[in-house]
Structure 1
């Protein structure tokens, strides 16, 4: 069988689109009411704290992709920089994030559409959504990029309309009646611990920047393009989150008056733009969910491909590419089938899995920078102490704190999943008598990557 490889066609711009689509910028609206109650209205301050914390981990991802510019993300980095056994477990943990996000997107979009068209069964909307994103991802990243551009553009249009209506309303005296207010950022009456508690929730809004690294083998000059794209995704996403939450606070300063914090976004949409904007806003939420589902399915299929190619998963299925489209077709289809579990799994359970898996991966990617550069490469002088020790230590400390702040249900579910992975590791290595399969990077690929 002819050796088929992933096709290099992506540059910084489409990578940023994939990352932003995965993050779904409109997610800032959905969690606002809950976090506003926790932080006593200081959601923008909590977003700034979350942004700063995520920038350190984004920096670590950028450093590791320079060392190993291949598909696999956190799985590859920990496997090569720390230990093959740890890499196996981190790859298993990050599957929680990647596998369950397409399912959550399917669940959300089916809920949205079923509420508007109750005569159409929930399952029909879910299946239609999964067929659509699976077909687009099988055809290839160029088609997915074009769709992501349209979907992201639609989300930005919703955001622009909201910003316009908010500023217009504020100038006309609604809400706080001013465009400038310091209390959302600095308020001596609010405890810093409340802001930190809010940021621990909001950090999960940034999930998606790491998905960019799974396209390393489809990116032109990934050592330069991927780190740049990672930072742009975090900065653009964080900037939007801070700006929008600030405007929401100005327009609707009395967060205690929300009828239901879970659906506060709809109340805000009606207040700012009436019923027409509420309908447009709901359409934007659906579009954002579709974009996130498209990107998350593409990302997890590449992670499974890297693990299948290594022999960690059966190579005959997971390590194959379509000869024409040069995409991991089997993986894409399997992820689509797995997402059908949305028919049986609730949103809270799926979210718990995602949170645990992502934070475990973030923590160990930070550790990988220290191991690879500071310890193994002995880059310990001058600015390198900051770059390869202090920065990743700050990033890992932040993610460990977030990890410890997860609720008991998430921790139990996550530990149980890791337990299954540990059993698989024992079987794969025959009680650790041999090394688990490792990612192989042949010289031809390295030369192509570095070109």
Structure 2
């Protein structure tokens, strides 16, 4: 009789544990990678092209390569921490667990500023592009539309946001791919070679110039660490999250390097009035 009661108590405890509140683990590697790349916003490479090209003396692809190496070191660190501390919260959770609650609190506020800053930049750039195409619609109207749509996606939940990320990412990659193809065509059409060291080294070659370009190019990588916030919604997070972090940095860096290499080849063929809109 006592054995039966013990078994009943154990079953009740197990049921209570299984019914405790928590996030539903439903995301797999492709979804987490898509989230990371969507947060990275690869199309930002077109918005910052002129500035980085000028700083690096035309060696923009080389600057992105240097930035990628630095980001991979950071990604490796995040991957190790995500494996050892598999909880949502990213850097502030890691600092809180390894150092102190107070420092974790400060890092959390710093991270929140980053997460607020990136969407603001994307909204402002998007609004300026759309306003140029549709002058009758003011910038504030486009920004309000972005805020409403982004808020709606977050309210609807991770499953809807996942599908929206995949769709928006596909559009971004398509735009960059078409732009790169048109750049290749333009270079070939003008009888120029597609093989050149200039986009990697700049003219004249200057390590300091490439490094200055890399400092700005690193901005394009902001957000790859955001995948760690999905740890408690990811299947087999200890294995999936570190892989997603590295793949986000690698795929994003690959897109940046390849696209800027060919765009830099076509850059001298076009008269650019404003470096910011190159």
Is the pair's TM-score, using the shorter chain for normalization, greater than 0.5?
yes
**Residues 129-176 of structure 1 deviation map (CA, whole Å, 9 limit, x = unaligned):** 2111211221111111111111111111112212222222222225xx
- 1:183 partnered with 2:198: yes
CA gap 1:125/1:217 in 2 versus in 1, 3 angstroms: same
Distance 2:165 2:102 in 1: 36
Count residues with an aligned counterpart. Answer: 260
**Residues 330-373 of structure 1 deviation map (CA, whole Å, 9 limit, x = unaligned):** xxxxxxxxxxxxxxxxxxxxxxxxxxxxxxxxxxxxxxxxxxxx
**Residues 75-109 of structure 1 deviation map (CA, whole Å, 9 limit, x = unaligned):** 00011112222111111211110122223333333
Q: CA deviation at 1:3?
A: 5.3
* Helix, strand or coil at the partner of 2:22: coil
Distance 1:139 1:160 in 2: 31
**Residues 188-234 of structure 1 deviation map (CA, whole Å, 9 limit, x = unaligned):** 83220111011011001001110100000100011000000011110
- 1:225 partnered with 2:240: yes
**Residues 226-269 of structure 1 deviation map (CA, whole Å, 9 limit, x = unaligned):** 000011110000011110111011122368x42001001xxxxx
CA gap 1:131/1:240 in 2 versus in 1, 3 angstroms: same
**1:335-354 mapped onto 2 (5 Å cutoff):** none
Distance 1:79 1:24 in 2: 29
Contact 2:72 2:249 in 1 (8 A): yes
* Helix, strand or coil at the partner of 2:172: helix
- 1:45 partnered with 2:62: yes
Relative to the length of structure 1, the TM-score reads: 0.55
Q: Which has the higher contact order (CA 8 A, sep 6+)?
A: 2
Aligned counterpart, 2:80? 63
CA gap 1:171/1:32 in 2 versus in 1, 3 angstroms: same
Aligned counterpart, 2:273? 259
Contact 2:202 2:210 in 1 (8 A): no
**1:266-305 mapped onto 2 (5 Å cutoff):** none
Contact 1:33 1:258 in 2 (8 A): no
Distance 2:246 2:46 in 1: 23
Aligned counterpart, 2:215? 200
Following TM superposition, where does structure 1 have runs of at least 4 consecutive aligned residues deviating by more than 3 angstroms?
186-189
**Residues 294-334 of structure 1 deviation map (CA, whole Å, 9 limit, x = unaligned):** xxxxxxxxxxxxxxxxxxxxxxxxxxxxxxxxxxxxxxxxx
Picking from 113, 120, 127, the partner of 1:103 is 120
CA gap 1:53/1:11 in 2 versus in 1, 3 angstroms: same
Q: Which runs of 5+ in 2 are unaligned?
A: 1-18
